[in-house]
């Protein structure tokens, strides 16, 4: 998009990697970055993450943790971006598989073997039938958080 970039991803299923009984697989419904140029060596990055962690984590735990995990990830990305030009000059400066796919060392996957993984269709292998109590949903006796608490700041 001109000097701006969008990097998006979402979960897919692949027959070589079926669900496992010892794991609960999260679903990336829509996750990505909007990178907007603000000058020749600067940009603004917007991060979006709509993820269903599956399993038995209460919604309030997921919402509360996202308030510090996403900002922490962005701070780490910022620090890495500042150091990247100098680092890249010392580490295979012409190796850029994101610009030149033929340089990629990763195995190829046929797109025809993939299917979109919708959040509501992922098998909940390790889910228990035990429902949360009201106190657990409310975040303990303090009443902080609830199933309806979906705001992120």
From first to last of its 153 residues, the chain has per-residue pLDDT tens of: 788 999 999 888 888 888 888 888 888 888 999 999 999 888 999 988 888 888 888 888 888 888 888 899 899 999 999 999 999 999 999 999 988 999 999 988 888 888 877 666 655 544 343 344 444 444 444 444 434 443 333
Number of domains in the chain: 2
Do 49 and 78 belong to one domain? no
Q: Which residues constitute the domain of residue 13?
A: 1-54
Is the full-model pTM beyond 0.85?
Answer: no
Q: How far apart are CA 70 and CA 2, in angstroms?
A: 27
Instruction: Give burial (CB, 10 Å; 0-12/13-18/19+) of 60.
Output: buried
Residue 128 maps to a domain: no
CA distances to 90, 99, 112 from 43, in Å: 24, 19, 36
Residue 141 maps to a domain: no
């Amino acid at each position: 998009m001109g000097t701006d970039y969008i990097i998006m991803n979402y979960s897919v299923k692949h027959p070589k990697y079926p669900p496992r009984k010892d794991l609960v697989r999260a679903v990336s419904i829509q996750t990505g970055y909007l990178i907007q140029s603000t000058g020749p060596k600067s940009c603004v990055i917007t991060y979006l993450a709509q993820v269903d962690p599956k399993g038995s984590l209460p919604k309030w735990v997921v919402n509360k943790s996202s308030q510090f995990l996403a900002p922490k990830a962005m701070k780490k990305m910022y620090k890495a971006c500042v150091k990247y030009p100098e680092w890249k000059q010392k580490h295979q400066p012409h190796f850029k598989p994101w610009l030149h796919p033929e340089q990629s060392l990763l195995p190829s996957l046929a797109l025809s073997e993939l299917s979109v993984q919708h959040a509501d269709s992922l098998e909940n292998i390790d889910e228990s039938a035990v429902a949360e109590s009201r106190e657990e949903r409310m975040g303990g006796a303090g009443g902080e958080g609830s199933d309806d608490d979906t705001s992120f700041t």
